[in-house]
Structure 1
Amino acid sequence: MNPRNSLNFSGGPGALPESVLQQVQEAIMELPEIGLSVLGISHRSDWFAAVIAELETNIRTLLGLSTDYHVLLLQGGATQQFSMAPMTLLHGKTHAAEYLRTGYWSGKAIPEAKREGPIQVIWDGESSGFTRLPGDDELLFSPDAPFIHYSSNETVEGLQFHRVLGRDDVPRVCDMSSDFLSTPCEAERFSLIYAHAQKNIGPAGVTVVLIRDELLKDAPDNLPGFLDYRSHVKAHSNFNTPPVFAIYVVLLVTRWLLNDIGGVANMHQINRSKAELLYRLLDQSNGFYRGRAAVPDRSTMNVTFNLASPEMEKRFLAEAAAAGFSGLGGHRAVGGIRASIYNAVTLQAVERLAGFMDDFQRRAV
């Protein structure tokens, strides 16, 4: 297959909708309404202010989000939020914030939070090899915790929460980097949501943060300006030179979700159809493909599995790459195979992958 026709199943950066890529290609050369390349437009221009305003509105519309929340477009990825959230919420607190360690990325957030104040890991999936998520009967949430933190979808292990965790009287902080705007999420039950863009909603370089206004009332006054959410609220996500290009692409993706897909609920139905196709193939393979995640906790974004041996996995990946399927290697932390089927990966692309997998099995046994 011609490399230009390769299909992107990478864990990130993920695929972008074809219509968005076409608009981006044109905008790199020249935005018709401006006459300049999007790469050279000032972040202080009226055009960019309008981009920010529309993008905020689109995200509010997609999630049904009230004006009690600020919509911020920040830098630093989810990694910066591992620090910013506890810097803001743990200052002066004596009770421990509650964290769940359900996989690679939620585990990355924990040592950063420990720098800022007391935390307690109330559930740790290491003993199960991070192959499952906790049930409600395994979780005991304290009413005194400053907040609870968890990751809604673990990209590495292929695990996803299909419910909201925690108490309604304790702020929820959630890393939704890999399933943001892929499914309805009851956004107003969360106090802070963060999601870097390079999975479902754009290229690397911008992170969407949704934060309830009341959460900022007790924030410490000695935070560095760049690490203070209030600085970005006041500046309308223009505190310093922002990633104009990346933010513009996210705007185009939200337009695509609203106008072409018809909203997040419709996007979820498409994503579920893609995931069911692959999981059905795994389940009907008589153990040739071995799903990694417990069935109730399977991710609709990242389908993770193994074959009988590392040698067979190498053969699978080599033949898949030759057939035009890119990014199927599992994360270095766990190995194996991972098919990431983010929003812009089409059902037709997943059908082609399923066809390849079925053919590979027939030839290998």
Structure 2
Amino acid sequence: MNKRAFNFNAGPAAIPLEVLERAQAEFVDFQGTGMSIMEMSHRGAVYESVHDEAQKRLLGLLGAPVGYKVLFLTGGASTQFAMLPLNFLTEGKTAGYVRTGSWSDKAIAEARLIGETYIAASSEDDKFMSVPDLHQLQIPENAAYLHVTSNETIEGTQFKEFPDTGSTPLIVDMSSDILSRSLDVNRFDLIYAGAQKNLGPSGVTVVIAREELLQNSPKHIPTVLRYDTHFKNNSLYNTPPAFSIYMVNQVLKWIEEQGGLTGIEALNVKKADLLYQAIDQSSGFFRGCVAESSRSNMNVTFRLSSEDIEKKFIKESEQEGFVGLKGHRSVGGLRASIYNAVPYDTVKALVDFMAEFQRKNG
């Protein structure tokens, strides 16, 4: 294609052009079957090979940890907010949550409907413009788990490291930064993520968990909401989002081609550094929202001197082909989501536009 949008959408978000082109080539006739992968049975050998390959490839990118299982589910992170306490927050237990902003708040609200919860740490006093220190957490003996949101998409904060929770399961929502950096999966008991930011299109939710956590869900909760249902059926209990899983597999291949998580992380740091430097070196014309130590490499949030000048920035950026730079309606401002698939040249184009906008309006 001659012209692609400069896509900074927060999700659904950019997908690598190479992946889209490969999918386009296979869209009508997948592997000589005379069918699209969207048309074939999820019980057939052709689809199951893609399904299994995607699971294996994802674990491979994470270092092939022993004793972990990948589930492909639906309902996004929002369904996981409820599934987690339904499966793990049993009678006599309490669930710990680290409160860091909009998405952690949604997870907490769902858990409170199910059972006893407590706030293990919070950055509310800083208006969620930083992440709290998790080194000195006090975890009660009856803790069911500790839940952390690794990256707050709306506020633009990100944890750089995670706590040691001992025997208490550490559960992390990585919806907006999964596979964006090197990761020791063995430090986590369960990771979940909606695919529509770094893994592919919307429609599939990935869960990566220790197998022992998935094997014995309470029997009084609905069958489709039990992790053991999906574990025992290899995520094929009901019809999976087949095309989304196929696309995830294609994105995972693309990540391998970029040098795996090491290569992806280096590129993501380079992109984030370029954009944050443009903000910090603008003599106050652009202002970063988040404390420097807590800045996200995925969602860069910033402000201008007034809402009027921000509206002008959005209008003119859209005229130049930039998409998705308006901040979330709950916080306002500006946001550039620079996920894995956003090319460096796209970020460079934004930085150049910002410099020209400042020259005209500073």
Residue correspondence of structure 1 range 295-314 to structure 2 within 5 A: 295-314=292-311
- Partner of 1:41 in structure 2? 40
Alignment partner of 2:332 out of 307, 330, 335? 335
Residue type at the aligned position of 2:145: F
Q: Deviation per CA, 1:15-37, whole angstroms, max 9, x where unpaired?
A: 00111000121222222332212
Equivalents in 1 of 2:66, 2:41: separation in Å?
A: 28
Count of aligned pairs? 362
Indicate yes or no: 2:227 matched with 1:219.
no
Residue of structure 2 in register with 1:192 after alignment: 190
- Tell me if structure 2 keeps the 8 A contact 1:83–1:112: yes
Deviations along 1:243-266, whole A, 9 cap, x unmatched?
1110100000001111x2121111
Provide the C-alpha distance between the structure 2 equivalents of 1:141 and 1:322, rounded to a whole number of angstroms. Answer: 51
State the distance in 1 between where 2:332 and 2:83 align. 31
Identical columns (%): 44
Is 2:247 the partner of 1:249? Answer: yes
Corresponding residue of 2:6 = 7
- Asked whether the equivalents of residues 143 and 169 of structure 1 are also in contact (C-alpha less than 8 Å), the reply is no
Is the contact between residue 15 and residue 344 of structure 1 (CA under 8 Å) also seen in structure 2? yes
Matched to 1:39, the amino acid is M
Q: Distance in 2 between matches of 1:86 and 1:4?
A: 46
- Kept in 1: contact 2:65–2:185 (CA 8 A): no
Amino acid at match of 1:278: L
**Cα distance change on mapping 1:218 and 1:38 into 2, 3 Å:** closer
2:146 maps to which residue? 148
What residue number does 2:54 align with? 55
**Which deviates more, 230-239 or 12-21?**
230-239
- Secondary structure of 2:336's aligned partner: strand
- Where does 1:50-199 land on structure 2 (aligned, <5 Å)? 50-92=49-91, 94-136=92-134, 139-199=137-197
Q: Check the 8 A contact 2:135/2:163 in 1, yes or no.
A: no
Q: Partner residue of 1:205?
A: 203
Residues in 2 aligned to 1:113 and 1:4: alpha-carbon distance in whole angstroms: 45
Question: Deviations 1:73-100 (Å, cap 9, x if unpaired)?
Answer: 00010000001111111122x2421101
**Paired residue type of 2:349:** R
The alignment partner of 2:192 has SS state of strand
Corresponding residue for residue 271 of structure 1: 268
Q: What letter corresponds to residue 286 of structure 2 in structure 1?
A: Y
- Asked if structure 2 preserves the Cα contact closer than 8 Å seen for 1:65 and 1:187, the reply is no
Deviations 1:273-312 (A, max 9, x none): 0000000011101111110010000000000000000000
User: 1:170-221 CA deviation, whole Å, 9 max, x = no partner?
Assistant: 1001000000111122211111110000000100000000121122355312
1:360 aligned to which of 345, 357, 360: 357
CA change 1:18–1:294 in 2 (3 A) is: same
What SS does structure 1 have at the residue aligned with 2:193?
A: strand
Counterpart amino acid of residue 218 in structure 2: P
Greater alpha carbon shift after TM alignment, 110-119 vs 310-319 = 110-119
Query: Counterpart of 1:195 in 2: which secondary structure?
Result: strand
Q: For residue 166 of structure 1, report the CA deviation from its aligned partner.
A: 4.0
Structure 1 contact 43–242 (Cα < 8 Å) conserved: yes
- Let me know the Cα RMSD of the aligned residues: 1.6
Paired residues for 1:311-322 under 5 Å? 311-322=308-319
* Contact 2:82-2:111 within 8 A present in 1 as well: yes
Kept in 2: contact 1:63–1:185 (CA 8 A):
yes
| Structure-2 separation of matches of 1:253 and 1:5 | 18
TM-score, L = length of structure 2: 0.97
Contact 1:3 1:324 in 2 (8 A): no
Of 306-315 and 185-194, more deviation after overlay is shown by: 185-194
For 1:348 and 1:327, locate their aligned partners in 2 and report how far apart those are by CA, in whole Å: 16
1:233 is the counterpart of 2:231: yes
In structure 1, give the amino acid aligned to 2:59.
Answer: R
5+ residue gaps, structure 2? none
Deviates most, 216-225 or 167-176? 216-225
Normalised to the residue count of structure 1, the TM-score between the two structures is 0.96
Deviations along 1:130-185, whole A, 9 cap, x unmatched?
11111246643334411100100000000000001241321001000000111122
1:344 counterpart = 2:341: yes
Aligned mates of 1:138, 1:3 — CA distance in 2? 53
Contact kept in structure 1, 2:99 and 2:123, CA below 8 Å: yes
CA pair 3-158 structure 1, distance change in 2 beyond 3 A:
farther
Q: Describe the SS at the equivalent of 1:293.
A: coil
The equivalent of 1:23 in structure 2 is 22
For the structure 1 residues 143 and 162, does the alpha-carbon distance in structure 2 shift closer, same or farther, using more than 3 Å as the test?
farther
Q: Which range is displaced more, 83-92 or 120-129? A: 120-129
